[in-house]
Structure 1
């Protein structure tokens, strides 16, 4: 294309300059964010491995508009590392980080009873040459580090591997609960829940919320994402949770051309199931085992939101989803809906969320408690249907004159979240510095989750723990 002067025009609009890494050698590189054909891309060039271009957001106009949801973060009470090389090489959390941790993650093992083709942790059934299983004492020390950094942590998730196969998983969950962490979650594939009738009641007794991997209904989806058919195990796991009174959030890994046509069915299923309090959609992270893909065609948050609105037009619109203010606005969007058995109404249609989350334009905020409640509701530590979420909504209702029925919303509220984690192709240090999801490692560091998966921290920690177990066995 040529301008009127005859000079050729660029095919894209430059938006921002940032830093990223080479997906091959992991060296830190300058990177550009630019818009082209209505989408947003990250472009970088490594002197040794060439140019890389990755899609980071599927709607350029929305990408620009939602930047107004960015707001100042809160510092953690304690930092773990010093700035030596600069972001993203000093994670731990370092003084350059701009946000505290809303959600801490502890991976208690690398062993698993599945071999999922998409696993970013490269966990499995024993074919890996290395691996580890944390002790209860290690997990307790990691929980203590989390409490020291946060004071009163909002949420912790025990993950893996498959954490339910760890012989001390119930003790670990109880240890988290004993430290006053408000929301204690178990990230699981549900196989033990389905097969062990005692497991769900044990989780209920501790007060655990289950984060259940649930990717869709088609056989092709199950095989592509989990490597085997698991529909029956998922159904039975949910039945056991419902019977025991255990709250569940469905966690769906979504990939273009595999199950992005099922997001509406997943939401509808969750809304209608008595145990399910929300659905978390995560576009597949291309690290670990799942590296065969085109980064220019990846699925982004805006694509998932559009698919939900398109597949459930009677329930949702794109503007029902609000960027979460505690992280970068493009990382996570959420909506909370009220369901009475027939009709579903998203909360943003009942209250102008923008009035309470818009810090850029300095709109008047008439009631601090309303703002706090809404920020909490749309934060990374919220899980639909929990007691804490109900308290927040009651606070909202008290301040803005919502219908009296909202006072009892906890039992029939439903949360839908779309969370896009970065990978080596899409890593942007500006987003990384405000990441509010952290991997807690045995030496007490809290490493931003996207850095842990992309920069090389996962491999370092795994090698150290694996070597320690080998030396201990010797």
Structure 2
């Protein structure tokens, strides 16, 4: 007689299933099914391609914040026109197609693919390649008109590249934008020409004086260490950055410092960048962008990347005298996990600063909570906050200044906050400072649910408005470049870690491939 074997016991999975969605294969860019799961209080996207296997990437470093961010998901606004029809579904019909859920808060025009740098990381894969292009006056006009047709009165257009300042007609392009119902122009630049051509900076300053219009500088600024510059930009640009900022201050231009933040490289410099920005007279805001692993980039591990909550925690840790948990809030016009913002009131001199985030003085959460409706906020405060917590909000613009002033008048500051609030409201141009944390999606992290609410759009020379993350991840960038240059463009294969380094035990007891072996073609 044999002894009965012990009954088998079921085992719980080590993750919680959150939702089913769609993504793309990071190698062949084919749309695939995907799922979002929570593990160890972090959020992961897992997907499988029939030809290339299974992939997984970290998409959000704080599961609790990921789930609660849904309260800040504002209903989208329908654009005045759509440029394409629905045929194959997102992300194959850009754009904008009628299924897109949001209008364009920010339109981006890439005026060229050429650049005076060949940065080791560049999602646009720009530089000195022979297969590049530059747009003409006629193409720029068509692109601006497509933006206006979609928006009516557009808030912000950004001229980018490549390096837009080396385009021989860039000042003309700014004039074309200012002649249209577009309130503000942002110039996205590495700063080399701003550092070496004061006449050019003066011309930008003149255009910043046009009534009802502004020109703002979006300046690459990744940190202060030589290693940071060499590994991100390929050369030491610290002297150029300082000269560019000083020239901008002299010309009366407002600057946003834009830091590409890579795990293990410059993540320890975030607090210093904020402090430097607060102290420099030209700088009114800082934007931190975890590195987008599309185009050119350094070797990376999709499971060990920086995400928005990671950046915010680093800021809090590096400047605890200024920041604490709860000072940043998601931006509701896009998908709320894509971007977070805070505004500061700043007083005092360097070395004796008082810095108070506005969310400490006003219950921003209640005004931007679109789901639970715990309170019935006053419409007079909610509207300015909606415009401040928006992808179209940039310091130095009349709209942002107006909404900041309306918000500041509703602030409540006890003596303990250390700010002379009436004086701060009076001197708001000097006292207010903005910090943005923006995580753009790449071929590993692309989630169609987020993409459908994107409000940052690339404007193509043929008049389409394509969501930024789709443009850089799905293959639209290569398509446009091939059409414009006439040179076939080979797709860039993600430069992920070697295959053997990305095998882990799955909840099913087998092995999962997080990325296929591949060498970058750049």
TM-score range, shorter chain: over 0.9
Report what 2:74 is aligned to: 71
Aligned partners of 2:366 and 2:377 also within 8 Å: no
Report what 1:114 is aligned to: 117
Partners of 1:230 and 1:259 in 2: how far apart?
Answer: 15
Deviation at residue 40 of structure 1 after TM alignment: 0.6
Q: Deviations for 1:103-156, whole angstroms, at most 9, x for unmatched residues?
A: 1000000000000000011100x2x24110001221111011100100111111
Partners of 1:291 and 1:260 in 2: how far apart?
Answer: 15
TM-score, normalized by length of structure 1?
Answer: 0.95
Deviation at residue 173 of structure 1 after TM alignment: 1.0
- Of 279, 292, 305 in structure 1, the residue corresponding to residue 299 of structure 2 is 292
Aligned partners of 1:386 and 1:410 also within 8 Å: no
Report what 2:132 is aligned to: 131
Partners of 2:76 and 2:26 in 1: how far apart?
Answer: 29
Report what 1:84 is aligned to: 87
Confirm or deny that 1:258 pairs with 2:265. yes
Partners of 1:234 and 1:166 in 2: how far apart?
Answer: 20
Deviation at residue 324 of structure 1 after TM alignment: 0.3
Three-state SS of the structure 2 residue aligned to 1:179 is coil
Report what 2:482 is aligned to: 463
Partners of 1:340 and 1:401 in 2: how far apart?
Answer: 16
Partners of 2:441 and 2:61 in 1: how far apart?
Answer: 15
Confirm or deny that 1:274 pairs with 2:275. no
Report what 1:178 is aligned to: 179
Partners of 2:320 and 2:125 in 1: how far apart?
Answer: 37
Q: Deviations for 1:252-282, whole angstroms, at most 9, x for unmatched residues?
A: 0000000001011100100111000100000
Report what 1:390 is aligned to: 401
Partners of 2:251 and 2:411 in 1: how far apart?
Answer: 35
Deviation at residue 370 of structure 1 after TM alignment: 1.3
Q: Deviations for 1:21-75, whole angstroms, at most 9, x for unmatched residues?
A: 0001111111010011111100001111011000000111111122211121101
Confirm or deny that 1:231 pairs with 2:238. yes
Given the superposition, is the C-alpha separation of residues 35 and 70 from structure 1 closer, same or farther in structure 2, using an over 3 Å criterion? Answer: same
Residues 142-157 of structure 1 aligned to structure 2 (within 5 Å) = 142-157=143-158
Report what 1:312 is aligned to: 319
Confirm or deny that 1:28 pairs with 2:31. yes
- Of 87, 103, 106 in structure 2, the residue corresponding to residue 103 of structure 1 is 106
Report what 1:343 is aligned to: 354
Aligned partners of 2:361 and 2:412 also within 8 Å: no
- Of 27, 41, 47 in structure 1, the residue corresponding to residue 44 of structure 2 is 41
Partners of 2:482 and 2:282 in 1: how far apart?
Answer: 38
Given the superposition, is the C-alpha separation of residues 407 and 305 from structure 1 closer, same or farther in structure 2, using an over 3 Å criterion? Answer: same
Report what 2:64 is aligned to: 61
- Of 48, 51, 55 in structure 2, the residue corresponding to residue 52 of structure 1 is 55
Partners of 2:398 and 2:26 in 1: how far apart?
Answer: 42
Partners of 1:330 and 1:138 in 2: how far apart?
Answer: 34
CA RMSD of aligned residues (A): 1.5
Aligned partners of 1:365 and 1:371 also within 8 Å: no
Confirm or deny that 1:331 pairs with 2:338. yes
Partners of 2:50 and 2:356 in 1: how far apart?
Answer: 52
Given the superposition, is the C-alpha separation of residues 335 and 400 from structure 1 closer, same or farther in structure 2, using an over 3 Å criterion? Answer: closer
Partners of 1:272 and 1:98 in 2: how far apart?
Answer: 39
Aligned partners of 2:140 and 2:461 also within 8 Å: yes
Partners of 1:363 and 1:154 in 2: how far apart?
Answer: 31
- Of 468, 472, 476 in structure 2, the residue corresponding to residue 449 of structure 1 is 468
- Of 355, 365, 370 in structure 2, the residue corresponding to residue 359 of structure 1 is 370
Question: Which entry has the higher C-alpha Rg, 1 or 2?
Answer: 2
Aligned partners of 2:457 and 2:468 also within 8 Å: yes
Report what 1:191 is aligned to: 192
Aligned partners of 1:105 and 1:156 also within 8 Å: yes
Unaligned runs of 5+ in 2: 1-6, 209-214, 414-420, 489-522
Given the superposition, is the C-alpha separation of residues 388 and 5 from structure 1 closer, same or farther in structure 2, using an over 3 Å criterion? Answer: farther
Report what 1:472 is aligned to: none
Partners of 1:149 and 1:388 in 2: how far apart?
Answer: 20
Deviation at residue 291 of structure 1 after TM alignment: 6.0
Partners of 1:297 and 1:396 in 2: how far apart?
Answer: 38
Three-state SS of the structure 2 residue aligned to 1:148 is helix
Q: Deviations for 1:362-399, whole angstroms, at most 9, x for unmatched residues?
A: 24444323111001111011112433211001222345
- Of 433, 456, 473 in structure 2, the residue corresponding to residue 414 of structure 1 is 433
Confirm or deny that 1:247 pairs with 2:254. yes
Given the superposition, is the C-alpha separation of residues 104 and 223 from structure 1 closer, same or farther in structure 2, using an over 3 Å criterion? Answer: same
Unaligned runs of 5+ in 1: 470-474
Partners of 1:400 and 1:273 in 2: how far apart?
Answer: 26
Aligned partners of 2:366 and 2:373 also within 8 Å: no
Confirm or deny that 1:215 pairs with 2:222. yes
Partners of 1:22 and 1:394 in 2: how far apart?
Answer: 46
Report what 1:378 is aligned to: 389
Partners of 1:401 and 1:307 in 2: how far apart?
Answer: 28
Report what 2:12 is aligned to: 9
Aligned partners of 1:304 and 1:418 also within 8 Å: yes
State the number of aligned residues: 464
Partners of 2:428 and 2:389 in 1: how far apart?
Answer: 15
